[in-house]
Chain A
Amino acid sequence: AQSVTQLDSQVPVFEEAPVELRCNYSSSVSVYLFWYVQYPNQGLQLLLKYLSGSTLVKGINGFEAEFNKSQTSFHLRKPSVHISDTAEYFCAGARAQGGSEKLVFGKGTKLTVNP
């Protein structure tokens, strides 16, 4: 079975502070992992993805994530957040074999950046 767990439903931070959004996955096979961002009243936008290779993945808007196979984690980080980063962030996984045919999402983490 495959599942994705986002450990925090809400994360409030101050502007220019660092942030980490946590994601753990459960899978008996190799997985592809993704982070998507959803701004208010909008669809999902891909932030970054891990398919294979380097475990540190850099994405758009200064975000990065690290794939940790031993801890089955794929945490999202940003060293200094802006007000405009306020959004909901979704971690998602898919079986690597056969391609990312079906994404399984976590429940999301709402990031609020305060001035």
Chain B
Amino acid sequence: EAGVVQSPRYKIIEKKQPVAFWCNPISGHNTLYWYRQNLGQGPELLIRYENEEAVDDSQLPKDRFSAERLKGVDSTLKIQPAELGDSAVYLCASRARSGNTIYFGEGSWLTVV
């Protein structure tokens, strides 16, 4: 069974440019998460989806960040415009409806220069 798939793995962009990350969760998992992990820190939740509905986006900086999960399967996280402080690893994760374990993808490593 395929795990959580993310792309791109690595991205280097100049500040003020846009960037987008894509995530395909484990098949059948209705809950999808986007976490951000700054260097030397633990991951912090940005947004949680239950199917196509964003049920917790309180930590998402809505002035520049947006996310969507239109059909309740894959998801895209966008940053526009990017700032130097956005350099981090963006982790996607998913969980089954009846499950207690959250499974993570390999992450998308963003460097803003």
Give the B-binding residues of A (Cβ under 8 A): 4, 32, 34, 36, 41-46, 49, 51, 90, 92, 94, 99-103, 105-108
Give the A-binding residues of B (Cβ under 8 A): 4, 6, 31, 40-45, 48, 56, 91, 93, 95, 99-107, 109
Query: Which B residues touch A51, using CB under 8 A?
Result: 100
**Given A43-B106, A102-B48: A108 in contact with B100 (beta carbons within 8 A):** no
**Given A36-B104, A49-B101, A100-B95: A106 in contact with B45 (beta carbons within 8 A):** no
Q: What is the CA–CA distance of A101 and B6 in the complex, to the nearest angstrom?
A: 21
Contact assessment for A44 and B100 in the assembled complex, using a CB-CB cutoff below 8 Å: no
Contact assessment for B104 and A44 in the assembled complex, using a CB-CB cutoff below 8 Å: yes
Query: Which B residues touch A102, using CB under 8 A?
Result: 45, 48, 56
Query: Which B residues touch A46, using CB under 8 A?
Result: 101, 103
Contact assessment for A44 and B91 in the assembled complex, using a CB-CB cutoff below 8 Å: yes
Contact assessment for A100 and B102 in the assembled complex, using a CB-CB cutoff below 8 Å: yes
Distance of A81 from chain B, by nearest CB (Å): 22
Query: Which B residues touch A42, using CB under 8 A?
Result: 106-107
Distance of A1 from chain B, by nearest CB (Å): 14
Q: What is the CA–CA distance of A54 and B104 in the complex, to the nearest angstrom?
A: 26
Q: Which 8 A-B pairs have the closest CB atoms?
A: A105-B42, A44-B104, A43-B106, A43-B104, A43-B107, A100-B100, A107-B42, A105-B43
Q: What is the CA–CA distance of A43 and B6 in the complex, to the nearest angstrom?
A: 10
Q: What is the CA–CA distance of A51 and B95 in the complex, to the nearest angstrom?
A: 15
By beta carbon, the residue of chain A nearest B102 is A103
